[in-house]
Amino acid sequence: MEIQSIKNRFGIIGNAPALNHAISIAERVAATNLTVLITGESGVGKEVFSHIIHQIGARKHNNFIAVNCGAIPEGTIDSELFGHEKGSFTGAHDARKGYFETVNGGTIFLDEIGELPIGTQARLLRVLESGEYIRVGSSKVIKTDVRLVAATNVNLQEAVRAGKFREDLYYRLSTVPIYIPPLRERGDDIYMLFRKFSTDFSEKNKIPAVKLTDDAKELILKYPWPGNVRQLKNVAEQVSILAMDKDVTAKELQQIVPDITDNRLPALAEARYNSGGSNFTEREILYKLIFDLKNDFNDLKQFVFDVTKNQVNGTQSLDNQIPNSKFQIPNSTQPVILSHPNSNQPVVVDNKDFHESETIEESLSLMDKEKELIIKALKKHRNKRKNAADDLGISERTLYRKIKEYGIDI
């Protein structure tokens, strides 16, 4: 089947080389039973590729089910996937079949597979290697024949190094990897998608379709689209309904969608898949900036301490070490006087303070910062956990666990 016919069948818009390459791999692997791992940022359309693999493969007439691993609580995910016996846990009033039993002969799509608990990962590995599993609370081995397609928006190699994902499962899953490029790497596809979404919305709601002027088109092409295709669709529909003039200029676009001019750390965002495969979330970027700031502050404290120690021991003065230094330390063993660059008032520091500060304490609490971010996200989205989790770049299940851990009232 040609790439263009696949695009037409599954509603894929765009001609970016990386996108065409991903479709080509999906087409070739569909005829096999190999396990596929789809990677890419949130909102790029990973589930669409799972449908491609199923619908043009040999299992197209059998069942297909998509499971969001991040949306299932940790205590029940084994039961959901593998089933359970009656009385195996509190509330198990009847025996239940799991997804691997109900989809036998078909395809199961596990989205956000990086959120699976370690115990569930071991069970999944056994299914992939032998086609066997055991229901929760049972000792009977059950056979299944299921094609597995997995997807993740996190770097599983980093998760393996951090001990959060099994290395053997990672290599078993990534038999055939498919990488879907983010929207910011697809060039003119952005404008093509905008036109498609705005036209579909206009036809559905029977309103005139909007058009972007050249400056507005340039604006959407430069924006990094952290939410990718999902975010672009929301913007297209928002502009279609709120635009006063159907020829939308850059100025009006900024008024309707103020965030369109916010590039949000473009250098770091661009490096998500280009710097050694690291996949940073916005929260991790914030933590990195905090760590860098803390380290700079600690380096300054240690530097002043070392210089003061040298002064006490009669070694070379700070002015001789760094001629242009803003810190002026006299040649004496008396308390040190520092002249602050933004103030005319001297700051007097006793030498013993530096000796006592050799062990530099942590001045920032990541737990407090994380709790603060979670509270702000929940407040912003009126306690809607799914929306808050998307905004924070974590799964809904992880957010639920953090809310309980920090005792946040919602």
Q: Could you tell me the two tokens for 68?
A: 């969001």
Determine, yes or no, domain membership for 347.
yes
Looking at the structure, tell me whether residues 205 and 56 fall in a common domain.
Answer: no
What are the pLDDT digits (tens) for 244-283?
A: 888 999 999 999 888 887 655 444 434 333 434 444 455 5
Tokens 């676009």 label which residue? 253
**Final residue of a structural domain among 181, 196, 225:** 181
More confident residue, 341 or 203: 203
Q: How far apart are CA 403 and CA 388, in angstroms?
A: 12
State the CB neighbour count (10 A cutoff) for residue 4: 12
Looking at the structure, tell me whether residues 82 and 48 fall in a common domain.
Answer: yes
Q: How far apart are CA 158 and CA 278, in angstroms?
A: 7
| Distances from the Cα of 165 to the Cα of 17, 82, 111, 174, angstroms | 31, 19, 15, 13
Q: How far apart are CA 141 and CA 148, in angstroms?
A: 19
State the CB neighbour count (10 A cutoff) for residue 97: 14
Determine, yes or no, domain membership for 387.
no
Q: How many domains does the chain have?
A: 3
Looking at the structure, tell me whether residues 332 and 257 fall in a common domain.
Answer: no
Looking at the structure, tell me whether residues 194 and 155 fall in a common domain.
Answer: no
More confident residue, 405 or 14: 14
| Percentage of the chain lying above the pLDDT 90 cut | 55
Domain containing 129 — which CATH number?
3.40.50.300
**Final residue of a structural domain among 128, 146, 181:** 181
Looking at the structure, tell me whether residues 20 and 149 fall in a common domain.
Answer: yes
Looking at the structure, tell me whether residues 334 and 352 fall in a common domain.
Answer: yes
Determine, yes or no, domain membership for 318.
yes
Looking at the structure, tell me whether residues 36 and 150 fall in a common domain.
Answer: yes
| Distances from the Cα of 32 to the Cα of 20, 24, 27, 29, 59, angstroms | 20, 14, 10, 6, 10
Determine, yes or no, domain membership for 377.
no
Q: What pLDDT, on the 0 to 100 scale, is given for residue 216?
A: 94
Determine, yes or no, domain membership for 60.
yes
pLDDT higher than 80, residue 133: yes
Average pLDDT over residues 318-347: 47
What are the pLDDT digits (tens) for 2-32?
A: 899 999 999 999 999 999 999 999 999 999 9
Domain that residue 70 falls in: 3-181
Looking at the structure, tell me whether residues 256 and 309 fall in a common domain.
Answer: no
Nearest to 134 by CA among 83, 92, 73: 83
Determine, yes or no, domain membership for 160.
yes
Domain containing 217 — which CATH number?
1.10.8.60
Q: What pLDDT, on the 0 to 100 scale, is given for residue 381?
A: 85
pLDDT higher than 80, residue 187: yes
What would you report as the CA-atom Rg of the chain, rounded to the nearest whole angstrom? 28
Determine, yes or no, domain membership for 157.
yes
Average pLDDT over residues 344-356: 49
* pTM across the whole model: 0.63
Q: What pLDDT, on the 0 to 100 scale, is given for residue 368?
A: 79
Determine, yes or no, domain membership for 281.
no
Q: What pLDDT, on the 0 to 100 scale, is given for residue 271?
A: 39
- Inter-residue contact 148 to 103 (CB < 8 Å): no
